[in-house]
């Protein structure tokens, strides 16, 4: 029963979008269901990479720690996301620490077992590599778009991404219910907490959004999109 549910779950993962039913079943047979309570560490930066994880329910953040013990947020992840993003195809340790920011139900695929599956089934390898090539091109295009943007533009783009990935719509508003501090947003965007504070306060004065400790509410989604499109 669990294997069938995992196969159905993997069918919705972009990396496996070209696999047929038999190939998805083979993949599901490798997967191990895992549960992590809120604030549990899933793996730590620098530890041996034993498995790659896929989020079935819940949310996860990944971060790196500098020599002073400060967190540098790498990503916030939602259901359907894979982590670490380096995935299966390099021998390096985990590049960052992963922590559940809500209760999280994951599917873990052991790296070694996945490699053996690819050796047994070259058709799976070809299909996955083709999808990865497309994703690399897409990522390059996004990086080119982001390069050179000022802090306000980076923040607006980030808020639009959060709204799309994590937002809950109600009465024309979008609530982004993430336990995320301004310092964490600053870490994601490569700027300071003071800069993020100023930008969020300015957006609040423009009646585009409001914030509290637990969420960001986009009051005027269209105004946010318009601001993001304005020339710098």
**CATH label of the domain that carries residue 104:** 2.60.120.10
Identify whether residues 141 and 209 lie together within a single domain. Answer: no
How many domains is the chain built from? 2
CB of 99 within 8 A of CB of 39? Answer: yes
Residue 96 has pLDDT above 70, yes or no: yes
Percent of the chain with pLDDT over 70: 91
Both structure tokens of 137? 């091109």
pLDDT confidence bin for 166, thresholds 50/70/90: confident
Identify whether residues 19 and 54 lie together within a single domain. Answer: yes
Identify whether residues 91 and 137 lie together within a single domain. Answer: yes
Query: What local confidence, expressed as pLDDT, does residue 45 receive?
Result: 92
When pLDDT is averaged across residues 38-66 and rounded to a whole number, the result is: 91
110-129 burial: b if 16+ Cβ within 10 Å, else e? ebeebeebbeebeebeebbe
Tell me the pTM: 0.70
CA distances from 60 to 81, 101, 213 (A): 9, 5, 18
Identify whether residues 54 and 135 lie together within a single domain. Answer: yes
The residues facing 55 across adjacent strands are: 106
Identify whether residues 9 and 89 lie together within a single domain. Answer: yes
| Domain C-terminal end among 89, 120, 145 | 145
Both structure tokens of 86? 């380096």
Mean pLDDT, all residues of the chain: 85
Identify whether residues 85 and 63 lie together within a single domain. Answer: yes
The predicted-structure confidence for 110-164, as pLDDT tens digits, reads as follows 999 999 998 999 888 888 888 777 766 665 665 565 555 678 888 888 888 888 8
Identify whether residues 113 and 82 lie together within a single domain. Answer: yes
Query: What local confidence, expressed as pLDDT, does residue 50 receive?
Result: 92
Identify whether residues 120 and 177 lie together within a single domain. Answer: no
Distance CA 62, CA 73 (A): 6
> CATH code at 186?
1.10.10.10
Identify whether residues 134 and 197 lie together within a single domain. Answer: no
State the residue range of the domain holding 124: 2-145
Identify whether residues 77 and 29 lie together within a single domain. Answer: yes
Identify whether residues 120 and 185 lie together within a single domain. Answer: no
pLDDT confidence bin for 167, thresholds 50/70/90: confident
């Amino acid at each position: 029963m669990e294997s069938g549910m995992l196969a159905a779950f993997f069918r919705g993962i972009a990396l496996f979008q070209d696999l047929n039913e038999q190939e998805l079943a083979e993949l599901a047979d490798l997967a191990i269901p895992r549960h992590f309570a809120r604030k549990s560490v899933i793996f730590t930066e620098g530890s041996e990479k034993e498995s790659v994880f896929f989020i079935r329910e819940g949310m996860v953040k990944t971060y790196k720690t500098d020599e002073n013990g400060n967190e540098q947020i790498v990503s916030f992840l939602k259901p359907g996301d894979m982590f670490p993003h380096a995935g299966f195809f390099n021998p390096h340790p985990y590049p960052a620490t992963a922590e559940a920011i809500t209760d999280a139900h994951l599917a873990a695929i052991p790296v070694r077992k996945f490699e053996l599956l690819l050796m047994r089934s070259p058709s799976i390898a070809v299909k996955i590599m083709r999808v990865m090539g497309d994703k690399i091109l897409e990522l390059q295009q996004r990086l080119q778009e982001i390069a050179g943007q000022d802090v306000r533009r980076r923040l607006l783009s980030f808020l639009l991404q959060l709204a799309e990935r994590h937002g809950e719509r109600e009465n024309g508003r979008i609530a982004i219910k993430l336990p995320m501090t301004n310092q964490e947003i600053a870490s994601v965007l490569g700027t300071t907490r003071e800069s993020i504070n100023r930008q969020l306060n300015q957006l609040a004065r423009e009646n585009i959004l409001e914030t509290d400790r637990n969420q960001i509410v986009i009051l005027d989604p269209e105004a946010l999109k318009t601001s993001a499109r304005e020339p710098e």
